[in-house]
Amino acid sequence: MFIINQNKCTYTESSSIAGNGAKENTRVTCVVYTRPGADLIGSSATTYANRDQTFERSQGRFDARTGISGGKRWYKGGTDKLQGIEGYLEVQGEE
């Protein structure tokens, strides 16, 4: 079974790039349910305090037994001062 969803987050505390804090993120995710968890594939756009944006792709796994999810987020570009940004980060944490 799979689900495609969209969500929007507004950050009160966030990471920053060059001192510019993230303010909101809009993400579209395809969730493929497998036992005992789910595989996640998504695309998102993050808007920063100065209105610059980054565009990301993500892929990860959620383990329902432990409540831990993890994966990678690849930065694929941006606008204005963040234009040309590339790279990735690995994340893991409890849901």
Instruction: Report the candidate in 74, 68, 73, 75 with the shortest Cα–Cα distance to residue 92.
Output: 68
For the chain, domain boundaries? 2-94
Distances (CA, A) of 89 to 4, 50, 81: 23, 22, 20
Q: 2: which 2 tokens?
A: 């799979």
Q: What is the pLDDT of residue 95?
A: 60
pLDDT tens for the chain, 95 residues: list them.
Answer: 888 999 999 988 888 888 889 999 999 999 998 888 899 999 999 999 999 999 999 999 998 888 888 999 999 999 999 999 999 999 888 76
pLDDT of 64 reads 85
pLDDT at 93: 80
